[in-house]
Structure 1
Amino acid sequence: MDKTSVRLIDNLAEVTSHQNTKVLEKSLLKTLTELLPTEDIVLYEVLEQEKGVTLNVISHAIAKQTTSKSNSEPDNIELFKPSSLLEAVQNQQVFIQSSENAQWNVFYPISSSNNNVFAVLSIVTGAFPSEIDKKLVSALLRVYSNYLGLLEKTQKDTLTGLFNRETLNYEISKILSRQNKSFNFHNNNASTDEKRRDLNQNKYWLGIIDIDHFKAINDTFGHLYGDEVLILVSRQMRKNLLRDDDLVFRYGGEEFVILLSTDTDIAAKSIFDRVRRQVSSHTFPQIEQVTISIGFVEIATQSSVADVIGQADKALYMAKENGRNRVEKYLPALK
């Protein structure tokens, strides 16, 4: 086995070692920049909308290495146009166009197991891609797509498409581990300046969301309609979370969880309250209005995932006791 094959296997192991999709995407682009003569790589998400297909940047990498122009380049490829990305999506084929500065733009559509294109990879290179290069990239993208499909099945709730409870536990555990290490370091070793910088860093907050009077909705309109309400509420919550790092989970039944990062409890409460208002202002079929109650807590130095959830649940209880359709922060006095 030659060095290139060993490096390829190592890179495949690296790509498929991540459960966080954002880290996975960065690892994929890093692998491609190491294996190919690339200058710039962008991964786009393909979104189907009423006005047509739109493309959003998921990840971007600029490679250090550049290569000279290949002698095997054909003469019949047009200059780069943004529409080329869409053409790759529509035709589900690799698309190549020449660009300025004697470079080549290569577009690889990425399909799911049901043959729907959900992403496009754009590579800028100084060398016209060989057939081997194209096969290598296409094979890596199939591995990426298959692995995403596995993550989707293991990490997502089947009804709402949100992250599931197991994924929530994993994410909280990661934050607790990071927070506890930081706490121990700053207590034992950190200088005054380091402690001050740490205070200015973003903190992590967990909010438990419960749909108010959901049992009455189920009893009056049936469980199928109850499921529809769960789906609609989950969509409204995702619509209002503006940052990529904010995560929404289906915790169970009519309960959801939001994980977010911001610097103060006031900022966190503002975000949670914005989510609450978003849901309450949405017009639902038949019942018109659905409201939610939220209890939230800072993830800091709790000893376990259960402690974090338990504290947020106490704050949720207070929100319901105080009239529902409101946001409450956990305070030690709530014990």
Structure 2
Amino acid sequence: MDLEKQTILIVDDVYFNAKIIEDILCEDYEVVTARSGKECLEYVKSTKIDLIILDVVMPDMDGYEVCRKLKANPATKKIPVIFLSGRGESQNETKGLELGAVDYIIRPIHPLVIKARIKNHLALKNQRDILEKFSFRDALTGIFNRRYLDEALKKEWHGSLRKGEVLSALLIDIDYFKKYNDFYGHVAGDQCLCMVAEALQKSSLRAGDVVARYGGEEFMVILPATPQQGAVCIAQRIQNNIAALKIENEKSPVDTYITVSTGIASTIPMITGGQKELVEMADLALYKVKNNGRNAYQVFLDTDFKKSRSLRPRT
């Protein structure tokens, strides 16, 4: 498979109809087919699809219902859908567009026209994807921002709940960063944040892990399917990688170089809880580290919750 080609899914119960479109598009795109609405919905669960060409009239589940289900699913709602039909009545076209389709093409198909329309819709999708990508990135460090973090944490919480897996989180704070900023200046402070962010990314090796800027000089790492001991290993790696940067911090009471404090929380999500609980656990562990002298990591303990059910003040 050519990884540079975008993937188009043709959904049509009539083989001949699907083959005509496939032959028109196969030179420019990776083309796959589904013979029913159900097959389409199953296919998009496991394969990245850039655009769907969807027949309106199909047995069991028509194209309108398939589109409705695609748009109701957060994982597939952004895939552009083009309806293909022999019905040219305006009410049918209106219905398709109201359901969220980007276009409605009437048979018979004109190869140059359908190619041009698909090219335009994919170009628009690429532009949206680029804008969305940058909207989820922290402008200074280039890692994920708080907006993305909140969405990712929610997604991983529900995923871990469904699978019954452990979800871990690290809340990381640069020790005495205000003193560093005041002494070395904001330009140096920005450079320090970028170097720490890069070190955090290098400390987290799996594709599913999320490294994000939580706010100010705080960062968070989300570790799906990672038990407590695995989270501790990541925290230790972070401590070592930050130390290896050797960023001088003359005003730090704990070291001559920049250091970090890390709160570690691990839990198997429950229906009665929520992702905010995991953040609170990591926050309480971080508070404990900072109270005990900083430049270390601390695992959240259940006894910490008995002392406080609310977020600790920052120091």
Common topology (TM > 0.5): yes
Aligned to 1:222: 185
Cα offsets for 1:13-64 (capped at 9, x unmatched):
xxxxxxxxxxxxx9x95436876437996xxxxxxxxxxxxxxxxx9989xx
Q: Does 1:283 align with 2:253?
A: no
Equivalent residues of 2:170, 2:265 under 8 A apart: yes
Alignment match of 1:293 (pick from 253, 261, 269): 261
C-alpha deviation, 1:285, in angstroms = 6.7
Q: Does 1:324 align with 2:294?
A: yes
Q: Does 1:315 align with 2:285?
A: yes
Aligned to 1:166: 147
Whole-Å separation in 2 of the counterparts to 1:177 and 1:259: 13
Q: Show the 5 A alignment for 1:181-330.
A: 181=162, 198=164, 202-284=165-247, 289-299=257-267, 300-301=269-270, 303-330=273-300
Would the alpha carbon gap of residues 142 and 225 (structure 1) be closer, same or farther in structure 2, given more than 3 Å must change?
same
Whole-Å separation in 2 of the counterparts to 1:286 and 1:313: 24
More strand per residue: 1
Q: Percent identity?
A: 29
Q: Does 1:37 align with 2:26?
A: yes
Whole-Å separation in 2 of the counterparts to 1:151 and 1:262: 27
What runs of 5+ residues in structure 2 fail to find an aligned partner? Answer: 12-21, 31-45, 50-110, 251-255, 306-315
Alignment coverage as a number of residue pairs: 207
2:123 is matched by which residue type in structure 1? Answer: R
Equivalent residues of 1:262, 1:268 under 8 A apart: no
Cα offsets for 1:75-134 (capped at 9, x unmatched):
xxxxxxxxxxxxxxxxxxxxxxxxxxxxxxxxxxxxxxxxxxxxxxxxxxxxxxx98898
Equivalent residues of 1:29, 1:60 under 8 A apart: no
RMSD (Å), alpha carbons? 3.4
Cα offsets for 1:266-288 (capped at 9, x unmatched):
11210222122111111337868
Would the alpha carbon gap of residues 149 and 40 (structure 1) be closer, same or farther in structure 2, given more than 3 Å must change?
closer
TM-score when scaled to structure 2? 0.56
Which protein is bigger by CA-based radius of gyration?
2
Would the alpha carbon gap of residues 317 and 143 (structure 1) be closer, same or farther in structure 2, given more than 3 Å must change?
same
